[in-house]
Amino acid sequence: MIGLVAVSPACRGNGYATAVVARGSRLLVEAGTEEIRGDCDAANTSMITAFERADYENFADRQEVGGGEGAPGVPGVRGAGAVG
C-alpha cells in the first residue's frame, strides 16, 4: 500500500509526489510484491495524477459516510490498481 504521500505547498508542482510513488512502486516490485495499491482522497487530483503517471489504474471509488442524524456523505477515497 502506498498512501499518505505529502508535499509541502511551497514545493508542489516539481514532480516530487510522482517520484515518490514511482520509486516506492519499483522498490516493492523488486522485493517481489505482486500487487500494490494506492489510496487517496477523490478530491486530491494532484495525488491521483501522481498515481496515474506511475501507471496505476483506478479500480474503485469509495464513499465514506459520517455518523449522526442527517450527516452527509463525504466524497470517497480513490484506489489505484496493481503495478507490475
pTM, entire model: 0.66
| Domain total of the chain | 1
Query: HSE-up of 41 (CA within 13 Å, CB side)?
Result: 8
Per-residue pLDDT 10s for the chain (84 aa) are: 777 888 999 999 999 999 999 999 999 999 999 888 888 888 888 889 999 998 898 887 776 666 555 445 544 444 444 444
Q: State which H helix or E strand residue 59 sits in.
A: strand 58-61
pLDDT at 4: 82
CATH of the domain at 42: 3.40.630.30
pLDDT at 29: 92
Domain that holds residue 31: 2-80
Q: Which three cell numbers stand for residue 73?
A: 456523505
